[in-house]
Structures are given as structure tokens and as C-alpha cells.
Amino acid sequence: MLKLGDCAKLMSALPDASIDLVVTSPPFDGLNEYKKTMTWDYFREVSSGLFRVVKKGGVVVWISRDTPEDKSICFRQATSFIEDGFFLHDTMIHKRVCPLLSKIRYKQAFEYMFVLSKGSIPNTINLIQDLNKNTRVLRDNIWTYTSGKEIVQTHLSSFPLALALDHIRSWSKEGDVVFDPFLRSGTTGVAAMILGRQFIGFEKEKKYFTIAERRIKNWETETADEPCFSDDLYEAWEI
């Protein structure tokens, strides 16, 4: 189910305890389309709504990073989720191969991935083991991906399809309901379709919703291994 509109309002129509997994990256970097609505009060409305709709033992994967003007908003958000009743199951890192450039700071190379459980232990835990020299080795909590074609097609805040696939594999099982309240280019939805999950996605901006709708409809044509190393995709932070 895909819906165009404000996620805080649309979420109110979802039943209590109806979502198994949330994988989302809320708008950051001062994206013009969201700048007026992404206030702290709005975040609180969204976070409390997520606590209501997520099942006992369900998981929220909240992917975000601080920009210079954000003043450590990531940690404030994580603390707020805990105050709502979530448990911080893991604090993970998404390390970018193509970091954001800055004239006054070291290259900004990572985002936080807060794995929040509604209950002390998630219902589903499928820890990924990667093949290393013919041996399966448990992955650590720093994940590195190239940035795929979805960033080229959409905007700077997209995340790699492989990242969404790995979180959905880790914290859900086939047939579960995956939700992305900030759908944007639809990467979470594509990953959910590939892995046989049910999917719900909300997006307030028509241009991103149209892209997401097309990608999710044509999910079988998507691939997770098309890297893009062009620094031209990234803006330099001046302050």
C-alpha cells in the first residue's frame, strides 16, 4: 500500500500493533521540500505514532546523520524513542564510500542506524554472516556500501538498496509487514518486494512519490550492485 500525503496524518489510520518492521531515513540536510515541516514537534508526533503501530517485538531502523546546524539531533531523537518505550537494540553505522565533502571538517563518511525494538528483544533476529576466504564470518555493526543508481535518479538522501535488503533480512521474515513513513525514492519498498514482505509506504512530495511508485511497481528490474562514485552528486558543506 502506497499513499501520497503527510505520514503523521496517514499513520493515524493504521491499526495499533500492525507493523513488524520500519526501515526509514527521515529527511535531513535541510531538503527544501521538508524544511518547514521537520520540526521537533513533528518528529515527536511521528515517533509516538511509530510506537503505537509497531508490534510488540517489532523493530524500527532509523537512519540519520547530524549536519552542522542540527546540533546532535540524532542522539536527541534516539533518546526520545527510548522515552517513548523503545529499547535501543543496537547503534549501527552506515559508512559511505563517497563521503560528503566539507571545507572546514573532515569528510563526513557515515550515518547512524539506530535499531530500536518495541520490547527488550526483537521478534526476529537473522544476523548476517558474510563469506570471507570460504568461511562464514558474523558481520559487525559498521556496514559499508557503494551508493547505487537510486541516488542518481532521485536525491542526496537516498540510501543503497543493499542496505535496505540487509536490514529487512535481519529483522523480519517472509510475509511480515514493512513500513517506511518517509518513502521518498522507494528503496525500502523495492527491498520489501524482493524479499517477499508486505509493504506500506507514505510520502508527502508528489515528485518523489511518483518515482517510488514506479520503482516499486517494477521491482523485478532493480539491482543492488550498481555503484556510483561521482563526487558531483554531493554538496560541500560551507558551515
The answer to whether residue 222 is domain-embedded is yes
Contact of 89 with 167, CB cutoff 8 Å: no
The answer to whether residue 194 is domain-embedded is yes
Nearest CA among 124, 26, 16, 19 for reference residue 80: 26
pLDDT in tens, 32-80: 455 556 788 999 999 999 999 999 999 999 998 876 555 668 899 999 9
- Domain with residue 87: its CATH number is 3.40.50.150
Sequence-ordered strand ranges (E) for the chain: 2-4, 19-24, 54-64, 87-100, 108-117, 129-132, 135-138, 142-145, 177-180, 198-203
The answer to whether residue 239 is domain-embedded is no
The band of 238, judged by pLDDT with boundaries at 50, 70 and 90, is: very low
Average of per-residue pLDDT across 24-34: 65
Question: Above 60 in pLDDT, residue 237?
Answer: no
User: Residue 77 — φ and ψ, nearest 5°?
Assistant: -65, -45
The answer to whether residue 197 is domain-embedded is yes
Question: Above 70 in pLDDT, residue 16?
Answer: yes
pLDDT at 14: 98
- The total number of residues shown for the chain amounts to 239
Q: Which DSSP state fits 102?
A: B
The answer to whether residue 104 is domain-embedded is yes
pLDDT in tens, 163-179: 999 999 999 999 999 99
The answer to whether residue 238 is domain-embedded is no
DSSP-derived 3-state class of residue 81: helix
The band of 28, judged by pLDDT with boundaries at 50, 70 and 90, is: low
Question: Above 90 in pLDDT, residue 3?
Answer: yes
Domain count, the chain: 1
The answer to whether residue 144 is domain-embedded is yes
pLDDT in tens, 109-144: 888 999 999 999 999 999 999 888 889 999 999 998
The answer to whether residue 57 is domain-embedded is yes
216: left (phi over 0), alpha (psi -120 to 50) or beta: alpha
Instruction: Give me the domain span that covers residue 172.
Output: 2-233
Sheet containing 87-100: order of strands: 2-4, 198-203, 177-180, 19-24, 54-64, 108-117, 87-100, 142-145
When comparing pLDDT for 207 and 33, which is higher?
207
Q: In angstroms, rounded to a whole number, what is the distance separating the alpha carbons of residues 165 and 31? A: 25
User: Residue 162 — φ and ψ, nearest 5°?
Assistant: -60, -35
